[in-house]
Amino acid sequence: MAENDYAHNEVLVSTQWVADNLANTDDIRLVESNEDLLLYGTGHIPNAVHIDWVADLNDSIRRDYLNESQFAALLARNGIRNDTTVVFYGDKNNWWATYAFWVFKLFGHQDCRVMNGGRQKWIAEGRTLTKEKPSFPPADYKPFARADYKIRALRDQVLTHINAGHPLVDVRSPQEFSGELLHMPGSPQEGALRGGHIRGAESVPWNRAVNEDGTFKSADELRAIYEGEKGLLPDQDIIAYCRIGERSSHTWFVLTYLLGYPNVRNYDGSWTEWGNLVGVPIENPSRQA
């Protein structure tokens, strides 16, 4: 387990913990979730199932997530019960692992954890990968109502939030924050008509929270960034956002579970929604005289 004095040490497991528990497929389910949807097929941790953030977690028509019955069916076919410990990991320093973690928490799944360091650390340590897809008996899963209001922010809630002067954390790159870039490099389909950031947002790129090996920085280092540099306080109502909600789910995880902030929401509409809205407050330093 993690030993960095996090608020919730139990949500992080080490690569060694995963290696020691590979055979416990009755109580533990490893879930790989990546930006690169083909990566799982090139090799994954033994007994890990693949949850596709596009096909499995999102509605195929509306820009929204699957509903309660679809979520229950997804977990059931992957052999996940309500009491299963689900351990997420993936590429991009666990961007999509924390995104899947966040979606699972929308539906109230109790025991969710993240493998610290993700695929990067597992592979760097020379640990076993396999191309064999595991198969588990279907499980019974009782769905809970999706609790969007607890950890998810929608656009009208964001507008109310900024009008009240509450803090927002923009976790994109400095170039996206300033308006120099309309989208993340390599993802033009996720751009917007306007560049910049939501009025009043603080820039804290998501990657400041991780070490070179993909593991999370210590609690003291994280507090120095979010509290020492940006002046955030644990009891504040905070919204994090990026472009589509994946990088901000990473920061949501850091603030909520590693630092223990109780009132953090992820705005998954993020800049692809806000930058295309008519009449909302935007700051664009790259266009200011």
At residue 170, what are phi and psi to the nearest 5 degrees?
-95, 115
Residue 190 has what pLDDT? 66
> What long-range pairs does 184-191 form, CB within 8 A, spacing at least 24?
184/243, 187/243, 190/243, 190/244, 190/272, 191/272, 191/275
Kindly state the DSSP code that residue 265 receives in the 8-state scheme.
E
Question: Using CA atoms, how far apart are residues 7 and 103, in angstroms rounded to an integer?
Answer: 21
**pLDDT on residue 151:** 97
Q: Where are the beta strands (DSSP E) in the chain?
A: 12-13, 28-32, 48-50, 85-89, 112-115, 168-170, 197-198, 202-203, 238-241, 264-267, 282-283
Interatomic CA distance for residues 216 and 107, integer angstroms: 25
Are the beta carbons of 115 and 15 closer than 8 angstroms? yes
Q: Which fold has domain 9-145?
A: Oxidized Rhodanese; domain 1 (3.40.250)
> In Å, how far are 110, 150, 174, 190, 241 from 286, measured between CA atoms?
44, 34, 11, 20, 20
Residues of the chain with pLDDT under 50: 1-2, 289
CA dist 264 and 151 (Å) reads 6
Tell me the residue type at 171.
V
| pTM higher than 0.75 | yes
96-to-15, 118, 253, 257 alpha-carbon distances in Å: 17, 10, 12, 16
Residue 130 DSSP code: B
Answer for the pair 262, 289: CB distance below 8 angstroms, yes or no.
no
The one catalytic residue among 158, 242, 259, 264: 242
* pLDDT single digits (tens) 137-155: 999 999 889 888 899 999 9
Within 18-157, strands assigned E span 28-32, 48-50, 85-89, 112-115
Residue range 197-219, pLDDT digits in tens: 999 999 999 999 999 999 999 99
CATH class of 150-287: alpha beta
Is the separation of the CB atoms in 248 and 151 below 8 Å? Answer: no
112 catalytic per annotation: no
Q: Are the beta carbons of 225 and 209 closer than 8 angstroms?
A: yes
DSSP assignments along 71-91, one per residue: HHHHHHHTT--TT-EEEEE-S
Q: CATH 3.40.250.10 region(s) of the chain?
A: 9-145, 150-287
